[in-house]
Amino acid sequence: IQTDALARIAAAADPAALEALRVEFLGKQGTITALLKTLGQMGPEERLEKAPAIQALREGVAGALADRKAALDAAALEARLASETLDLTLPAPDSPRGTVHPVSQVMDELAEIFADLGFAVATGPEIEDDWYNFTALNMPESHPARAMHDTFYFPDAAPKGGKMLLRTHTSPVQIRSMMAHGAPLRIIAPGRVYRSDSDATHTPMFHQIEGLVIDRDIHLGHLKWTLETFLKAFFEKEDIVLRLRPSYFPFTEPSVEVDVGFAIENGKRVLGGSGDAPGHGWMELLGSGMVNRKVIEMSGLDPDEWQGFAFGVGVDRLAMLKYGMDDLRAFFDGDVRWLAHYGFSA
């Protein structure tokens, strides 16, 4: 029995075959179990004589079963490890990646362009004091120009009189910069501004970038050259033509509205060329002017010594023009499909 059992156990190919052999030899009805039972019917002498061989057979078979089981388990583990090996050189599955919002990208680009022209970046609070937003910009309490700004007011009184408000433009940063740093000065101030207004081209929150140069002997020519240089760099186009129109802002004198010439290509406005050329037109782009003497004075500087120019541009509008987007409201919906459509997602 022993030789036959050990040979068959060694040949068992899988755990099921091995279990069948265990039952055949050592189970309740097993052949070796039957042999063990015969011991009970023997007389003491016969039992003493035969018991050791039968016990040895049982132990030998049990040991062989255990060894074979260990060998099968080890082989199964080997196989599983081999099949589950991770290939770390395989490319990882693609997952959607975030992207810098077009408005932030444009503000970064503008900061870079103006850095090359020697402008530093200045900031101011979005919750602003009435005095910086209006009064110091030559818009006293009763000034009609205040009505042009649909202002969000807070109920709290402002330290300098009037009320606290959400700044309606980035121009208060002009005042804050002059008061903090004096002259000469060359800054841009990008940031959020707020007006109570909403349609396809107006959102209650939008972005402006303010520019301010204060120095000696500054004139309108400096303003025009600066705007031309920055627009050519921003739109990556030499053929940008500007038209300066007289306008009115309380904080600049004279005030100049700047238009840019465009052509229509495939139903879209494309900047470039004179707006007076056939099939072309002029688009209003920004407000600017020479800083009003009163503003320089209220900021603590001597207007006989220091002059300057200032301008304010809508950043969202620049982004729309550069990337051919047509609804301003989509900028603030946070829809990643819209970003992807304009090439802004990975």
- The stretch near ligand PHE (CB under 6 A) out of 26-34, 110-118, 281-289, 320-328 is 281-289
Figure out which of the listed residues 250, 272, 287, 308 binds ligand PHE, where binding follows CB under 6 A.
287
Q: Which residues of 126-140 are buried (b: 16+ CB within 10 A; e: fewer)?
A: eebbbbbbbbbbbbe
CA-based nearest residue to 114, from 64, 188, 175: 188
Q: What is d(CA 71, CA 115) in angstroms, rounded to the nearest whole number? A: 73
Closest separation between CB of residue 216 and ligand PHE, Å?
A: 20
311 binds ligand PHE (CB under 6 A): yes
Q: Pattern 145-174, binding to ligand PHE, x per CB under 6 A?
A: ------------------------x-x---
Q: Sign of the CA dihedral 87, 90, 94, 98?
A: positive
**Number of residues that make up the chain:** 346
Residue 346 contacts by C-beta under 8 Å, 6 or more apart in sequence?
96, 97, 99
18 binds ligand PHE (CB under 6 A): no
Packing angle, helices 44-83 and 31-41, rounded to 10: 160
249 binds ligand PHE (CB under 6 A): yes
CA-based nearest residue to 164, from 114, 132, 212, 130: 130
132 binds ligand PHE (CB under 6 A): no
Closest separation between CB of residue 289 and ligand PHE, Å?
A: 5
- If the CB atoms of residues 57 and 173 are measured against ligand PHE, the closer one turns out to be 173
- The stretch near ligand PHE (CB under 6 A) out of 82-90, 177-185, 306-314, 332-340 is 306-314
138 binds ligand PHE (CB under 6 A): no
310 binds ligand PHE (CB under 6 A): yes
290 binds ligand PHE (CB under 6 A): no
Q: What is d(CA 226, CA 310) in angstroms, rounded to the nearest whole number? A: 11
Binding-site ranges for ligand PHE (CB under 6 A): 169, 171, 249, 252, 287-289, 310-312
